[in-house]
Amino acid sequence: MYVRLPLPPESRIQRSKDVRSVFDRGRSAAAGPVVVYARQRDDERPPRFALVVSKRWGGAVERNRIRRLLRESFRTSRHELPQGFDFLLLPRNALEQLEMSQVRTHLMRAARRAVARCAEAEAARAEAASGDPAA
């Protein structure tokens, strides 16, 4: 059975201030060669993403391969990610040498950790706001 997994234009973070917001206020996690920053939005729309691949990773061919791997990994795992989150995807060492399934596994692991860290930070913030000195 064939399952269609589209990546519509609204699944991308397009404004630079939104990307900066994920960097500045989001929580990060790494798994293997993938780093993911996650930030919760105030809505329940499907997750969005942005890619950050600097010139450090080589020429255009190498950078585009890394982008394709990350984009496809996000596309195929988007339905498993929580609603209402923005994700920023960054490569780490030797990502371009992996197969897409391996990149997807690392991406999902890092995204779950980053989302968990967002939840922990939100819980700590709510506890501090309530004035409960139990912590």
The per-residue pLDDT for 95 is 83
For 93, the 3-state DSSP assignment is: coil
Q: What is the DSSP string of 48-92?
A: EEEE---GGG-SHHHHHHHHHHHHHHHHHHGGGSPTTEEEEEEE-
Which of 110, 103, 134, 118 is CA-nearest to residue 39?
Answer: 118
Query: Comparing 5-9, 35-39, 62-66, 118-122, which segment has the lowest mean pLDDT?
Result: 5-9
Contact 49, 89 (CB under 8 A): yes
pTM assigned to the model? 0.87
**Would you state the structure tokens that stand for residue 65, as one six-digit string?**
């391969």
Dihedral pair phi/psi, residue 104, rounded to 5°: -60, -45
At 129 the pLDDT is: 84
Strands 85-91 and 48-51: parallel
Indicate the pLDDT class of residue 130, thresholds 50, 70 and 90. confident
Nearest-CA neighbor of 42 among 71, 83, 97?
83
| Structure confidence by residue, pLDDT tens digits, 70-124 | 999 999 999 999 999 999 999 988 787 889 999 999 999 999 999 999 999 888 8
pLDDT at 133: 57
* CA nearest to 117, candidates 44, 28, 18: 28
Picking from 34, 33, 15, 32, the residue whose alpha carbon sits closest to that of residue 86 is 15
Instruction: Answer yes or no: is pLDDT of 135 > 60.
Output: no
- pLDDT, the chain, mean: 90
Instruction: Indicate the SS3 state at residue 27.
Output: strand
Mean pLDDT, range 22-31, rounded to an integer: 94
User: Which domains are seen in the chain, by residue range?
Assistant: 9-121 (3.30.230.10)
